[in-house]
């Protein structure tokens, strides 16, 4: 992953990792810490618990687990105020994107007495992140968010609205990609997080902040996701049917997701993510499925720009073996094929959502106030976006 040179987070890959080696990694990163804080979610997960047990044997270890999907600022503030982080010299986050984003905020704010994440959110925050916090090690257990290598986190306020918070002080010091952890994903999670990674890569290509280096990284990432996601998904299906886990397939997807993270960590995301926030806030659609919902429509819109059409043509040519002039159309067809095969939604009916007259426009109007929407190239036109959303109703 040469594109890792774009990212200040040190990234190491393993098909499997022993508890002793995990503890050694913590020793190196924390300079021999006496006390380590570990953030997880509340679900039972034997592979993760094996690694945490290795830390408990080596260090004083405090475990925190107040994490919900699309993390609540109030949960993070409660953990900050609990005193559990007192004396901790390193924070480890092991989990999916919600755990990793929560860990970023905890690490950044832990050294600041009385700090509240809620004060850092929204268009006019009363507080800004101003200094490096605890050393931070992130270990993803899903292959799609790329949160382990980016300087952004997504958090819900007290009203349920999602906010993107970006700061170099949220960047992890190191990330460990461990195939054995991500190999436990169920098929629906493998599909939705895989499409999240694909959306990250593609949104970096049709992005106003795109630059030659990010275009190369995003192209590499998109080709990797398209090549690796089917095997990862089939491995997850086989595991659900009683088969054996495939850590090699999971690691390949973890690396593809990180590649996409290297790109969108610089450019930011765009239209698809702005729309996805509304789907999650209004109807609790899981983030990856919400990103998949409109990915084909965003791609069709992006193709109006000849330069972006050429970028997408390169992806299609490399991933699907077609001439570059036919690559963007082949890419669109492959995306639709994968969505159908993996049961990802393309209509409000498939989400179980019924919309009354005028409701769609009322609910989605705020997406055009989202800075992510402004990253889209060609510039998003509300009437065109409403038209493709209405076609899904």
> pLDDT of the chain along its 393 residues, tens only?
889 999 999 999 999 999 999 999 999 999 989 999 999 998 899 999 999 999 999 999 999 999 998 999 999 999 999 999 999 999 999 999 999 999 999 999 998 888 899 999 988 898 899 888 999 999 999 999 999 999 999 999 988 899 999 999 999 999 999 999 999 999 999 999 999 999 999 999 999 999 999 999 999 999 999 999 999 999 999 999 999 999 999 999 999 999 999 999 999 999 999 999 999 999 999 999 999 999 999 999 999 999 999 999 999 999 999 999 999 999 999 999 999 999 999 999 999 999 999 999 999 999 999 999 999 999 999 999 999 999 999
206 and 170 housed in the same domain: no
**Which own/partner contact pairs does 350-358 have at CB distance under 8 Å and 24+ positions apart?**
351/279, 351/283, 351/285, 351/293, 353/283, 355/393
214 and 90 housed in the same domain: no
pLDDT at 112 (0 to 100) = 83
Q: For residues 233 and 248, give the distance between their C-alpha atoms in angstroms, rounded to a whole number.
A: 13
Dihedral angle at the C-alpha atoms of 375, 380, 382, 388, nearest 10 degrees? Answer: -110
Within 31-98, strands assigned E span 35-39, 60-64, 90-95
80 and 172 housed in the same domain: yes
191 and 47 housed in the same domain: no
Report how many domains make up the chain: 2
Could you tell me the CATH number of the domain that includes residue 291?
1.20.1090.10
Query: Would you tell me how many other CB atoms lie within 10 Å of the CB of residue 21?
Result: 14
94 and 239 housed in the same domain: no
Do residues 28 and 36 lie in contact, with contact meaning Cβ atoms separated by under 8 Å?
A: no
The pair of structure tokens assigned to 103 is 């860990």
79 and 192 housed in the same domain: no
pLDDT at 5 (0 to 100) = 94
Do residues 45 and 71 lie in contact, with contact meaning Cβ atoms separated by under 8 Å?
A: no
pLDDT at 115 (0 to 100) = 85
pLDDT at 123 (0 to 100) = 86
Q: Which residues constitute the domain of residue 6?
A: 2-181
- Provide φ and ψ at 152, rounded to 5°: -125, 155
37 and 176 housed in the same domain: yes
- Provide φ and ψ at 177, rounded to 5°: -95, 115
Do residues 381 and 213 lie in contact, with contact meaning Cβ atoms separated by under 8 Å?
A: no
71 and 168 housed in the same domain: yes
66 and 201 housed in the same domain: no
278 and 296 housed in the same domain: yes
pTM: 0.95
Could you tell me the CATH number of the domain that includes residue 71?
3.40.50.1970
pLDDT at 42 (0 to 100) = 87
Tell me which residue has tokens 């889209």: 376
- Nearest CA among 39, 45, 53, 49 for reference residue 88: 39
pLDDT at 77 (0 to 100) = 96
Domain boundary among 134, 164, 181: 181
- Nearest CA among 168, 163, 206 for reference residue 309: 206
- Provide φ and ψ at 155, rounded to 5°: -140, 150
pLDDT at 13 (0 to 100) = 97
248 and 354 housed in the same domain: yes
Domain boundary among 181, 210, 225: 181
- Provide φ and ψ at 43, rounded to 5°: -75, 145
Domain boundary among 165, 181, 197: 181
21 and 44 housed in the same domain: yes
């Amino acid at each position: 992953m040469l594109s890792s040179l774009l990212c200040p987070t040190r990234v190491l890959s393993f098909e499997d990792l022993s508890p002793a080696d995990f503890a050694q990694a913590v020793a190196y990163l924390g300079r021999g810490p006496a006390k380590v804080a570990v953030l997880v979610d509340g679900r039972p997960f034997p592979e993760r618990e094996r690694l945490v047990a290795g830390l408990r044997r080596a260090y004083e270890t405090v475990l925190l687990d107040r994490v919900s999907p699309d993390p609540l600022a109030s949960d993070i503030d409660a953990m900050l105020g609990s005193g559990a982080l007192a004396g901790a010299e390193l924070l480890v986050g092991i989990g999916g994107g919600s755990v990793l984003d929560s860990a970023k905020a905890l690490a950044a704010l832990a050294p600041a007495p009385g700090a509240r994440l809620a004060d850092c959110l929204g268009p006019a925050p009363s507080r800004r992140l101003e200094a490096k916090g605890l050393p931070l090690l992130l270990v993803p257990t899903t292959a799609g968010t790329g949160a382990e290598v980016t300087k952004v986190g997504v958090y819900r306020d007290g009203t349920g609205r999602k906010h993107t918070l970006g700061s170099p002080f949220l960047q992890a010091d190191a990330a460990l990609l461990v195939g054995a952890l991500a190999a436990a994903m169920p098929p629906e999670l493998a599909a939705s997080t895989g499409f999240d990674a694909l959306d990250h890569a593609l949104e970096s290509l049709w992005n106003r902040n795109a630059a030659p280096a990010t275009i190369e990284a995003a192209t590499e990432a998109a080709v990797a996701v398209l090549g690796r996601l089917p095997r990862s998904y089939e491995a997850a299906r086989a595991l659900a049917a009683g088969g054996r886990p495939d850590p090699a397939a999971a690691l390949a997807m973890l690396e593809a997701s990180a590649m996409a993270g290297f790109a969108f960590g610089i450019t930011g995301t765009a239209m698809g993510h702005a729309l996805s926030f509304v789907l999650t806030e209004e109807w609790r659609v899981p983030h990856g499925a919400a990103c998949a919902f409109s990915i084909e429509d965003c791609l069709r819109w992006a193709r109006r720009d000849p330069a972006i059409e050429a970028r997408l043509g390169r992806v299609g040519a490399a991933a699907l073996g077609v001439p570059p002039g036919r690559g963007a159309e082949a890419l669109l067809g492959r995306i639709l094929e994968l969505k159908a095969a993996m049961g990802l939604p393309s209509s409000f009916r498939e989400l179980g959502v019924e919309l009354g007259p005028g409701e769609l426009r009322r609910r989605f109007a705020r997406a055009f106030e989202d800075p992510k929407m402004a990253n889209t190239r060609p510039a998003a036109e509300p009437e065109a976006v409403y038209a493709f959303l209405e076609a899904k109703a």
